[in-house]
Amino acid sequence: MSSTAQLYQAQSVSASQNRPQNWPRLSIAPMLDWTDRHCRFFHRILTKNTLLYTEMVVADAAIHGRRDFLLGFDDTQHPVALQLGGSDPKKLAEAAKIGADFGYDEINLNVGCPSDRVQSGTFGACLMQTPDVVAACVAAMKQAVSIPVTVKCRIGVDEQDTETALGELARLTIGEGVDALWVHARKAWLQGLSPKENRDIPPLDYERVYRLKQQYGAQFIGINGGINNLQEGLEHLQSVDGVMIGRSAYHNPLLLREADALLYGDAHEPVSDAELIDAMCDYCDRHIATGGKLNQVTRHMVGLFAGQPSARRFRQILSVEAPKAGATSDVLRAAYQVIVVAREEAEAYERDFGALNPAE
């Protein structure tokens, strides 16, 4: 059994239980156009233990597309999960096998995305309406791979009763041996709301997810949706096994630097800002040397110093200079130097006059 498979072995809900050291208490949600290989490399420098997810890859693309481009990743990203989209058990099984052969630690099925593009392919959140299909897909993937197979879902869609919808999906997939259910604690409205609106407008119902964990105490149940910081995550961990955060980690990535100590009890020294910038500059140089562009990496870093002196100038430099032809890691170093100088000035001001407003 792989180390990741051990993460999803049966556990009770008791917060005091001695869970494995590498239990996936925290994961970064799969986010289309955001959690690509460059973003994941960046996040991994900040946290050694957090489970990372790819963007959703459609099963047909994994089977017939440019596999190295779609699925390739740096070995430092482990533990990392591949999220697949689809509703054909045979194709998903084939795609899962491909993902496992690429070295992914987990295969996750998307049963939560409400976009029109996903709906037209009859997968994503609309699969909440056909839990038997989801269960068949899980069964096929479980048969094809030895690594964990998990599902990310909603609590329901449209006019569904969430007790029935989530309950039936859980019952059938657990019956087929699903290793974990990651539940976005909102309904998705397939008509009338955009994907962006579906992330905010449907009300959160954390209690529904808590009740699911109470019903299936031995099953790994993770929660997602509206979780803004690690402290909120700790509160959820009193009732579920894992917490998945998305936009808050993307827009304020430095919160991940505290995750290993706070959620995993990992005593290693967190990476410093200077070490982080050096590592990312080295990565940018390697990416550019293979034909890539600087902004393909640095676009994920614009929120790095959110709330700190000169954070706006840092964002401006990366947004304006990184996309230019021939841009190198010197752009990132220059942007960081603005932060360093602003901190020195703020410290000097505070010594002489008191605290400085970071927004100034």
Q: What is the full per-residue pLDDT of the chain (360 aa) written as tens digits?
A: 344 555 665 444 343 343 334 468 999 999 999 999 999 999 999 999 999 999 999 999 999 999 999 999 989 999 999 999 999 999 999 999 999 999 999 999 999 988 766 656 678 899 999 999 999 999 999 999 999 999 999 999 999 999 999 999 999 999 999 999 999 999 988 887 777 787 778 899 999 999 999 999 999 999 999 999 999 999 999 999 999 999 999 999 999 999 999 999 998 999 999 999 999 999 999 999 999 999 999 999 999 999 999 999 999 999 999 999 999 999 999 999 999 999 988 777 677 776 655 544
Q: Is residue 224 annotated as involved in ligand binding?
A: yes
Residues 32 and 157 in one domain: yes
Residues 29 and 115 in one domain: yes
Q: Which of 207, 234, 264 is the last residue of a domain?
A: 264
Do 260 and 281 lie in a common domain?
no
Q: 164 in a domain, yes or no?
A: yes
This prediction's pTM:
0.91
358 domain residue, yes or no? no
Identify the domain containing residue 169 by its residue range. 3-264
On whether both 219 and 75 belong to a single domain, the answer is: yes
- 225 annotated ligand binder: yes
Query: 217 with 199, same domain?
Result: yes
The span from the CA of 14 to the CA of 17, in Å, is 5
Establish whether 89 is an annotated binding residue: no
Which residue is it, tokens 């197979």?
A: 149
- Exposure letters 304-336 (e unless 16+ CB within 10 A, then b): bbbebbbbeebbebbeebbeeeebebebbeebb
126 is catalytic: no
Question: What is the per-residue pLDDT for 1?
Answer: 39
CATH of the domain at 336: 1.20.120.1460
**Is 83 marked within a binding site?**
yes
DSSP string over 218-235: TSEEEEESS--SHHHHHH
Number of independent structural domains in the chain: 2
- Among residues 211, 207, 181, 227, the alpha carbon closest in space to that of 8 is found at 181
Domain finish residue from 264, 282, 309: 264
Q: Are 124 and 85 in contact (CB under 8 A)?
A: yes
Domain final residue pick, 234, 264, 294: 264
Is 156 annotated as belonging to a binding site? no
Q: Are 60 and 5 in contact (CB under 8 A)?
A: no
